[in-house]
Structure 1
Amino acid sequence: MKQLLLLLTLIGSLFASAQNTGKIEGKITLGDGMPLSGATVYIEALDKGAVTDFDGNFTINDVAEGTHSVSISYVGFETVTQDISVTAGQTTMLNTILKESDSLLNEVIITSSKQPQKITDVPASVSVIRAQDIQQFPSFNIGELAARQKGVDFVRTGVLGTGINIRGFNSAFNSKNLQVTDDRVSMLIATGLPFGTFSTVTKDDIKRVEILLGPNGTLYGPNAHNGLVSTITKNPRTSEGTTLVFGGGNQNVITGRLRHAQVINDRLSYKVHFERTAGREFQYVDSVYVGNTAYTEERLDRDFDILRYGGAVHYKTGKQSELIGYYGHSNNTNLGVTNAGRNQIKDWTIDLAQLKFVSKNFFANAYYTWSRTDETYAINQRTQNYVSFIENGFSEEEAWDRALFEQWVPAFGIAIPRGALFRDASERFNAEAQYNNNWGNFHLTVGAQYQLDMADSKGTYLLDQDGPIEIGQTGVYGQFEYKLDSGWNFLAGIRADNHDLYGTNILPKAAITKAIDAGTFRLTYGRGMAVPSILNLSGNLFGGLVLGNGEGFTRSDGSVIDPLEVETINTFELGFKGQLADKLFIDTSVYYNMSENFISPLRNIADAENGIFVTEIGGQPIDDVVPGASASPFLLTYSNFGQVDTYGFDIGLNYYFSDAVRATLNYSYFGSAIDTDDLNNDGNLDGVVLESELPINTPANKVNLGLHYTKNKFYGAVFGRWIEDYDFFSGINVAAKTQDLDGDGVNEIVENAQVGRTWNYGPLGGFVIDANVGYTLNDNVSFGLNVTNLFDTEMREFVASPAIGRLISFELKYNLNFTKNKKNQ
């Protein structure tokens, strides 16, 4: 009887509850009527919500009677908040149109925590290149847009070459900020360098780029050392249509692109993309030195050609789950800058295949990367080899062919190995699984990742004569956030990575944010690390002139160069993002970094002038590993510096004069302090540590100022960028003012003169103005023009690179939106 009474009581309470609740239903669309799948509809006070299905529909059941504040958000769009009155036993309709964010404070991003967050709530310093920025930038190279972001060190090496670094220690071979595209690592396998022009995605398929400043790799990987760059492409279901682009410009540039996306039915959609871009690099021939005699790069080919294509199939497996298959390909022929001169990259291909599953609480991802080249070569080394044969009576044809592999030594009448050819047949496998969920104000994310690098240079630029070098890494991570109604938010995360060579490393992360009416304050701590790349550990370039340092070296004077260790960084940051006045928005942060075991650029560890040569590598005679290396007057390798502290602050201001006009001001300061008592910081190995021995390679001050205009069918922007002059050292490359590096009264560095094996043009930096304009002729056709370095200012941005002159590009775009056409029929 008691059980029956309990059952009747339970039924009664459930019935009473049902009588006091209602539900909310509706549809979320874009401005053109396209359903928005995956938008979040949330009632914070009740901790209830839903995610829209294929058709943009959603339902929230058991909503208490009364008036509730409902927020609707989607990545890259403005968050909309509406008050909804719910009547018991009835359905309340809520249909909303979302538009792309115009206000920087209403924007939603996803990269920081792998979940949609309003940008002011993100516990990190973030710069965003938005869809509108990309759409209104009439150039095939969206890398230029990174120059307009705060806290980003942007460099340009030519028509194609653009690169970014974050908060110091740049290099021609910089791999210290992790770059990902749609949850795929976008870094070359053996070198660890960002893909850059090797990317398989095209500009028209990129939805947005989110740049996180500082160590933020808890959810992404161990090598997000000083930053993370995440490129997110478009979902075909929310970007259905066809885009055709024809473009061109000076430097003989011509480009053609195609993107097509289509929804087949409620479950199936797909997209394909294609690009072919060709042109000619700026006129610039670098010096190549044999002793103190200067030659020029031999048979330099300035023509470049980029081919890329790919496609994805999206299949909805449920209302809130999706299976995605992707394949992409790129083929590159161009000039690449390295810290040992320039490379002639010829038909270097990258292929990617990915399968990814995404649902409300679970994420799984697996992909494979292939890298192939057979004809790429180092111009500097091949020129040196070629000269050695020509000057000793060999024919032009024989000299050029043999220059790929060897150098003639007239004193002995023999040829020695000095390979200039790069072959690559490297592969990489990645897999990841992740779970996330909410319980009230508590959000949890846990996951695991695996990466297996299989580097194979066919014995040309790695110590891999015995076969591919295989290195595996496994990482597990957890991150939780707790948000209080008072505006306080707490985050804690930890990552453990096990590396085949370096064992387990722990990366903690913590943040506190406090929301106020004007914005959000944040205090964060993060630990990051940079694991030496396979090239750092096992490089073997130019017959042993450049060797990796995976096992350490011994010199003839008995001194020892220790093998490379993992570089670590601990960062503390205080920031604020918010609204200072009615139309003035600010995003600012101040940070302090403590680095240990900083991995140096290439540096010479032989000292032929004082009779000091390298005798052993890893405890065995170096000649047994690389014949003849013990007699080399140069041996370039990598090593760890000791304790180095860096600090700085970034500030970004945006002022809206009107809905059509916005002004942007970004300023960054960077400083450093080297521990002069730590002999690991002795860059030239003379027993004395000087401030000048650490290659910071970052300007102390940089400013950019922009003015944006968008109204009706016209858009445009003008951007000025000033970089204070700064010294840059990377391998044999020097761009620096005249100075005495070791304090002996003699200037080792002289501006506009030969320094070692290269020519020093002086410090990098300067001031340039860029501008772009565009006009939308109708719903389908638009035209745009971009000018980089509008006034053709003489400015050199990178070592072993030309001064960047005026670069003009234009685009004629035809865009067919299927959804609009369907509505008009």
Structure 2
Amino acid sequence: MVKKQLTLIVFTLLAITSIAQVKISGTVYDEYLEPFYGAKITEGSNFTLSDTSGEFTINLVSNLPSTITVSAFGYRTEVVEITSPDQEINVILKENFLLDQVVISASRVPERIIESPVTVERLGLSEIRRNTSNSFYDGLTNLKGINSNETSYGFKSINTRGFADFSNSRFVQLVDGMDTAAPALNFSAGNLSGVSDLDIQSVEILPGASSALYGANAYNGIMILNTKNPFDFTGISTIFKAGATQQEAGGLNAFYDLSLRMAYRFSDAFAAKVNVSYFDAEEWHATDFRNREVDTNELIEGNIESTVNYDGVNTYGDELFYDLSLNNQSLPPTHQIPVGTLLRRTGYTERELIDTYRSNNLKFSGSLHYRPFKDDRLEVQFTSRLAMGDNTFQGTSRYLQRNYYIGQSKLEVKGKNFYVRGYYTRNDAGNSYDLTRSGVMLNEAYSPFRTWVEDFFTTRYGQGLSIQEARAYADRNRLQPGTEAFNTTLNTIKTTLITEGGSAIYDRSAYTHADGNYNFKSLLNDWADVQIGGSYRKYSPDSQGTIFNDANEPIRVEEYGIYSQIQKKFLDDRLKLTGSVRYDKSQNFDGNFSPRFAVNYALGESKTHILRASYQTGFRNPTIQEQYLLINTGTKTNVGSTKDNLRRIFYDYGNGFEVSGDDIINNSLLTRSVYDANFGQSNVKSDYKEIQPEVVQTIEAGYRGLIRLNNNNNLDLDINGFVSRHTDFVFAQDVVVPMLGEIYPNGNQALSDADAAQAQSQGALVVNNVVVLSPNANYSFSQGFVQEFFLTTNANSIVHSYGIGVGLHTKLFKNYDFGLNYNYMDFTFDDEDYGSFEPNFNTPKHTVKAQFGNENLFKNFGFNVSARWQDEFRWVSPFVRGTVDARTVIDAQVNYRIPSFKSKLKIGGTNLFGKEYFVAPGTGQIGQLYYISWTINN
């Protein structure tokens, strides 16, 4: 009897299971009726993916009738009702309107881009497919308000809203939540350690101040790169890319770029992926031989044949100079040399100082993903990334990066309402070296500077030779490029540390970071999004004195931040208010509050017209280099001005002659007020103090909406404008410190005539009965017992920037994609720094970008064209200053899909029909690039 009952129960359960687990099949297509690979088909907690033929099979866990959802990133989700197991299921996924795409960067919660409280630019999978550039990262420059500065083939620096050069520490770049900034430099090396084209899912960029949610250095904006999760994107994908670069200086040179992605979902609980990519290419040759003016670093006319003080932008070793008029006392009146006639020695070109212009980069990333509940309610991720290779970089000098290494490891636990992550970043400069110091030390190797000057002066004016003949005599023993002596000496210099008289850079720095966030919305019954979060970071720089002042004492810097945000909707979800506040503290600076408030209001019956306004704040902690810099360039010493760094500085010259870090701040004169007759004031005491964080306050307003043009077409329109106020901009001021005596601030109470006369008789410098220099200080300056410093500090000037952007996107002639945007940005400031401060805005006032294409012009064939125009602008950096000409750049690609091979062929080119252009003075001129790529199974 019992056996019969058990048998009945078992058969009943099997029958129930067979009823519940109905197996259905179907096919997913794109809007061109091509099979859609990788679409996600979901029913309840169960899901599957469509294969390369667009087909899928899924076992339903619910009784019929039931529903399935079919979704894919960048496409509208379709819901299909299932009433019969034999039902024919054909689903067409249509591309999302841009405004329907979801972003998380603006509020740290998923929201439609149209509902973002601040301006957001996004590059999704569909935009990446249409990209005309050599990579998705290169294509970011086509977005509204986004600028890309290219210092070499592989190094591109993304920025928004100005105030950046290649060392862009005012803009934060995150890959899956990890900051990609190099530990020693505190800025990202572009995509050299980033994401391959195969693994990128989307890019979100927030222009403007974002410190309220993202903390220090989210000053100009933040870029979030999201990669593909192996639970959603499985299989093996590859890209084979090859082509050539064309440049007048470098000629025609081949390049190749290979990428491989492997992802596998072992079960509903475990998945993993691996990415490998490698490129090898010729750098853009740097041949900017314009002359730099000695005091301002401005570009001026002249060459070594006609100019005594020639200092070419891309020549090195000609940086030291000597005022020939100092020798006038030895010359007859007829041969007197004009005051300020500067002599520089002969330098070496960049091509003579490098082994090869080839650049290469190897990137690897791997990650393990575990879902204990077999869905996305909780996921544990372990990720490791590394990059290595050779490259060229332009900062305060030009640097050859050889065998560099950057590595990151991350452990993250995240759920629907929270995440906690920690990661460790480390780098190794490898065999990198400074080209400027290489040139200087090469010249010193065959003839010390003073000896060389004497040879030139004696020959030129003792025998009446021309400048060229005198230079030739002084250079008679010069090491000639290509000779064994030259190669041996250069190799010794570039492998010897800067601290030991060479040009090699040692950098094995690291930092540890942890951050987390929790959203209380579910606990509050969806009353509002209420978040709290925080972060902690510890820097451990290690340069052995070649970059930082850490030769005798290690540097450790800790910082942390906490924040909270509330976001709530009112008035039938038409009104959305967002309020945020963050507190950050670094051990070298006072704490800093960053508030943000934003309001959105939706107009129209369908709520597709959104007005927004916001007040935002941002700040930037000075980089570790700006805090702890201590490098002697030969003519002056560059020094960072944190109190901890100044404490470490003490120069003892003997017999009571000494200079301390405190003297640099409290006992110095502005250098130009001592030596520049055109300065306007004499012996002005420096009032600059220890460095502090930069701060920006921004008011922004905008509109984003969907305007219906006809039954088949819509126009996505985005308009935004902003005004910002910047204080405490970091810059370098030239100061000079006496080795003896005191400097008094101008404006001390005036002495009586008798007391002033007595002070002057004792050797003090007295101006209008006010003592400026003590007797010992006056003696120091008169005898040249002084030390000059380039002090990294904060400007007194307040800067205002402002801008407006307009972008539109629509379909023309039904299926032709068209986008157009215009951006205007500018700045003003009142000089409060004696003419020594100029913001590095480095951004054109006017920029116009357009894009036109069709992904299915005819069966399996598509094309896309993009064009960019910008007007001329002024470039300001520690390396050089000058004008960058206006330019027009046209990129284009055609592509052909081969469904039977699951692949796509693309042929394209960049800067087509255009002339070569400088991104900035000193970089290689950008010519043309042509490529052909074959993508399989992506």
1:798 aligned onto 2:881: no
Question: Is 1:423 the counterpart of 2:506 in the alignment?
Answer: yes
Counterpart for residue 580 of structure 1: 707
Show the counterpart of 1:8. none
- 1:202 aligned to 153, 176, 196, which one? 196
Question: Deviation string for 1:602-630 (max 9, x for gaps)?
Answer: x4515xxxxx55769xx9xxxxxxxxx98
C-alpha spacing 1:390/1:569, structure 2 compared with 1 (3 Å): same
| More helix as a share of residues | 2
The partner residue of 2:562 within 461, 476, 480 is 476
How do 1:307-346 and structure 2 match up within 5 A? 307-318=362-373, 319=375, 320-338=377-395, 340-346=396-402
- SS of 2:626's partner is helix
The one of 639, 653, 662 equivalent to 2:808 is 653
Deviates more, 1:780-789 or 1:588-597: 780-789
Aligned amino acid, residue 641 of structure 2: N
In structure 2, the residue matched to 1:23 is none
Tell me which residue corresponds to 1:667.
Answer: 822
Letter in 2 for 1:325: F
Hey, what's the Cα distance between the residues in 2 that align with 1:565 and 1:538?
A: 13
Shift of 1:458: 2.1
Q: What do you get for the CA RMSD once the two structures are aligned? A: 3.4
Are residues 1:783 and 2:905 paired? yes
What is residue 74 of structure 2 aligned with on the other side?
A: 77
Please point out which of 231, 242, 247 is paired with 1:237.
231
Task: State how far apart, in whole Å, the 1-side matches of 2:787 and 2:503 are.
Answer: 17
SS in 1 for 2:186: coil
SS in 2 for 1:105: helix
Which amino acid in the other structure matches residue 669 of structure 1? Y
Shift of 1:158: 3.3
Which stretch shifts more, 329-338 or 197-206? 197-206
Cα distance change on mapping 1:82 and 1:248 into 2, 3 Å: closer
Once the two structures are superposed, the pairs formed by residues 69-468 of structure 1 within 5 Å of their partners are 76-80=73-77, 99=93, 101-137=95-131, 141-250=135-244, 251-285=253-287, 286-288=314-316, 289-290=318-319, 291=321, 292-295=344-347, 296-297=349-350, 298-300=352-354, 301-318=356-373, 319=375, 320-338=377-395, 340-391=396-447, 395-396=485-486, 399-404=489-494, 419-438=502-521, 439-468=525-554
Q: Indicate yes or no: 2:633 matched with 1:511.
A: no
Write the letter of the residue equivalent to 1:306. N
Query: In structure 2, do the counterparts of structure 1 residues 360 and 586 end up closer, same or farther at CA, with 3 Å as the change threshold?
Result: same
Aligned amino acid, residue 214 of structure 1: G
Alignment check: 8 A CA contact 1:217 1:228 kept = no
**Offset of residue 267 of structure 1:** 0.7
Query: Alpha-carbon deviations, 1:505-543, whole Å to 9, x = none?
Result: 111111110112342111111111011010111123355
- 1:793 partner SS: coil
Cα deviation digits, residues 390-417 of structure 1 (max 9, x gap): 346584356324534889xxxxxxx996
1:472 Cα deviation (Å)? Answer: 1.1
2:628·2:640 contact (CA, 8 Å) conserved in 1? yes
1-structure distance, mates of 2:835, 2:101: 45
The equivalent position to 2:690 in structure 1, one of 560, 563, 583, is 563
Distance 2:186 2:238 in 1: 33
**Compared with structure 1, are the counterparts of its residues 417 and 545 closer, same or farther at alpha carbon in structure 2 (3 Å cutoff)?**
farther
1:673-692 equivalences in 2 (<5 Å): 673-676=828-831, 679=832, 681-684=833-836
**How many residue pairs are counted as aligned between the two chains?**
703
Letter in 1 for 2:853: H
Cα 1:114/1:28, change in 2 over 3 Å = farther
Aligned in 2, Cα 1:514/1:76: closer, same or farther, shift over 3 Å? farther
Structure 1 spans left out of the alignment, 5+ residues: 1-25, 42-50, 62-69, 86-92, 408-414, 607-611, 620-628, 686-692, 737-762, 817-825
SS in structure 2 opposite 1:77? Answer: coil
Distance, in Å, in 2 between the alignment partners of 1:132 and 1:225 is: 29
Is the contact made by 1:356 and 1:365 (CA closer than 8 Å) also made in structure 2?
Answer: yes
- 1:727 is displaced (CA, Å) by 0.8
Q: Which runs of 5+ in 2 are unaligned?
A: 1-23, 30-35, 50-57, 245-252, 288-313, 322-343, 449-476, 480-484, 644-663, 670-682, 744-783
Give, in angstroms, the shift of residue 83 of structure 1. Answer: 12
d(CA) in 2 for partners of 1:430, 1:705: 40
Report the Cα distance in structure 1 between the residues aligned to 2:109 and 2:128, rounded to whole angstroms. Answer: 23
Aligned 8 A contact 2:132 2:909 in 1:
no
Residue 581 of structure 2 is matched in structure 1 by: 494
Match of 2:889 among 768, 774, 790: 768
1:307, 1:380 → 2: CA distance?
27
Evaluate the alpha carbon distance shift between residue 396 and residue 650 of structure 1 in structure 2; reply closer, same or farther with a 3 A threshold: same
- 1:12-32 per-residue CA deviation (whole Å, 9 max, x = no partner) reads xxxxxxxxxxxxxx9999764
User: What's the counterpart of residue 873 of structure 2?
Assistant: 726
Given the superposition, is the C-alpha separation of residues 365 and 233 from structure 1 closer, same or farther in structure 2, using an over 3 Å criterion?
Answer: same
SS class of match (2:705):
strand
1-structure distance, mates of 2:693, 2:932? 45
Higher strand fraction: Structure 1 or Structure 2?
Answer: 1
User: What is the TM-score when the length of structure 1 is the normalising length?
Assistant: 0.79
Where in structure 2 are the equivalents of 1:594-673 lying within 5 Å? 594-600=725-731, 603=732, 605-606=734-735, 612=736, 635=790, 637-673=792-828
**TM-score by structure 2 length?**
0.70
Q: Could you say what secondary structure the match of 1:187 adopts?
A: coil
- CA 1:139 to 1:591, structure 2 compared with 1: closer, same or farther past 3 Å? closer
Q: CA deviation at 1:701?
A: 0.9
Q: Is the 8 A contact 2:172 2:187 kept in 1?
A: no
Q: List per-residue Cα deviations over 1:410-459 (Å, max 9, x = no partner).
A: xxxxx996552211111111112211132334111111111111111122
CA contact (8 A) 1:497 1:506 kept: yes
Of 106-115 and 181-190, deviating more is: 106-115
Aligned equivalents of 1:244 and 1:134: distance in 2? 16
What is the deviation of 1:54?
6.0
Deviates more, 1:451-460 or 1:722-731: 451-460
State the match for 1:541 in structure 2: 631
Q: CA deviation at 1:136?
A: 4.2
Q: Secondary structure at the match of 2:490?
A: helix
Secondary structure (helix, strand or coil) at the match of 1:134 reads: helix
* CA–CA separation in structure 1 for the residues paired with 2:26 and 2:224: 26
Deviation of 1:243 (Å): 1.0
Aligned-pair identity in percent equals 22
Tell me, in whole angstroms, the C-alpha distance in 2 between the residues paired with 1:221 and 1:53: 39
Counterpart for residue 705 of structure 1: 850
Cα separation, partners in 2 of 1:641 and 1:34, compared to 1, 3 Å: same
Identify the range of structure 1 (711-720 vs 457-466) with the bigger mean alpha-carbon deviation.
711-720
Native 8 Å contact 2:730 2:792 kept in 1:
no
User: In structure 1, what is the equivalent of residue 452 of structure 2?
Assistant: none
